[in-house]
Structure 1
Amino acid sequence: PLSHGLPSRGAMSRSLPTTLRNRWVAGVAVVTVLDADGGFRGVSVSSVVVVSIEPPIVALSLSSDGSVHRLFVSGTMFAVSMLDRSRTFPADRFAGRAPVPDAAFTGVPHVVHASGVPVIEGAIGWCVAAVTQVIPAGDHVLILGEVQDGATPEDTDDPLVTYEGRYRALEAE
């Protein structure tokens, strides 16, 4: 392939996509959904994108290795809670790096939205969306959802971000 003077290492290594993902600074959020029994399920993500303003649509990328992605079918309601740096513990819990919450989210401060899905308490922003599309994408699944409700209740200049697998601070201007 033409590299226009860029250094090339020949064939792409299997680790390159992971390295590229880790070099992308991203906000951290917890996505929550109800399971078949009405219990709460959640997962930490750093791949939330607002893909449309009108109508308001968000996209998530979830690993197809786990079971959470199977809960997202057309019409399913889910919540996205954007976290600040004081919320590393919930981020770790839903990423499996701390005790995983039970179906009642015991020990996880949250409020239940009118749709039934939990929103993490103290989120710097949140939205509740209805799944409109589920798109297989390699070892992940893209979930598109039309936003039904949301707010940005907390004003902060200290969002929880990740870079190279670690939480980082943004420098103040």
Structure 2
Amino acid sequence: MHKVASVQTGDRADRDAYRRAVGRFATGITIVTTRLDEIDYAMTVNSFASVSLDPLLALICVEKVARFHGAVLSAGVWGVSVLEESAEDASRFFAHRGRPLEGQLEGHPHHHGRLGVALFDDALATVECRTVAVHDGGDHSIVVGEVVAVATPADGSPLLYHEGRYRRLSG
């Protein structure tokens, strides 16, 4: 028999219960970048998804209060680097709010792709997108982009996030 715990307040599910429930969905970890006025912006994101194969579309969700939000909407282009399991330190660094923009990519081997956005050299995959739509998603914006370039620069296992912790695939 399965244990069923349902927590609701009025017409809505409880926020903490919802957070615990969706935390059971394992996600890959990416660093998403954009470039605006010759400044590189980067942020750890696990809300990245393929949307369509015809046309090629992907999406990211960006918190509206993040400085990355304004930059990516203004720039209209963005890159996604799918992190390899040894990249936990990079993921933690780019998840930290308020870090200085200047020099933030130093020490993280990268290059600028076709759209001018930074892409990590040791990523399992990179995707470059041009924004085609932005949708309201509560405290986030859902940014949909047309995929204009892809690469698979490295082989390896992905870095995962599950139940509030970094995880790795086991054999």
The whole-number CA distance in structure 2 between the counterparts of 1:140 and 1:170 is 29
Post-superposition Cα deviations, 1:70-112, rounded to whole Å, max 9, x if no partner, equal 1233771110000111111211111018965525622221111
Q: Which residue of 2 aligns with 1:21?
A: 22
Unmatched runs of 5 consecutive residues or more in structure 1: 1-5
Q: Is the contact between residue 27 and residue 162 of structure 2 (CA under 8 Å) also seen in structure 1?
A: yes
Please give the TM-score of this superposition, normalised by the length of structure 2: 0.87
Q: Verify: 1:165 aligned to 2:158, yes or no.
A: no
Q: Is the contact between residue 74 and residue 132 of structure 1 (CA under 8 Å) also seen in structure 2?
A: no
The whole-number CA distance in structure 2 between the counterparts of 1:74 and 1:53 is 26
**Alpha-carbon distance change, 7 to 22 in structure 1, aligned in 2, over 3 angstroms:** closer
The whole-number CA distance in structure 1 between the counterparts of 2:99 and 2:65 is 20
**In terms of mean alpha carbon deviation, does 130-139 or 9-18 score higher?**
9-18
Q: CA RMSD in A?
A: 2.3
Q: Is the contact between residue 101 and residue 108 of structure 1 (CA under 8 Å) also seen in structure 2?
A: no
Q: Is the contact between residue 122 and residue 154 of structure 2 (CA under 8 Å) also seen in structure 1?
A: yes
Q: Verify: 1:67 aligned to 2:67, yes or no.
A: yes
**Alpha-carbon distance change, 21 to 102 in structure 1, aligned in 2, over 3 angstroms:** farther
Post-superposition Cα deviations, 1:35-55, rounded to whole Å, max 9, x if no partner, equal 3x2110000011111010111
**Alpha-carbon distance change, 75 to 32 in structure 1, aligned in 2, over 3 angstroms:** closer
How do residues 68-147 of structure 1 correspond to structure 2 at under 5 angstroms?
Answer: 68-73=68-73, 76-96=76-96, 102-103=102-103, 105-147=105-147
Count of aligned residue pairs for this structure pair: 166
Q: Is the contact between residue 121 and residue 153 of structure 2 (CA under 8 Å) also seen in structure 1?
A: no
- What SS does the aligned partner of 1:72 have? helix
Q: Which residue of 1 aligns with 2:155?
A: 155
Unmatched runs of 5 consecutive residues or more in structure 2: none
Q: Which residue of 1 aligns with 2:42?
A: 42
Give the number of the structure whose residues are more often strand, by fraction. Answer: 2
**In terms of mean alpha carbon deviation, does 98-107 or 38-47 score higher?**
98-107
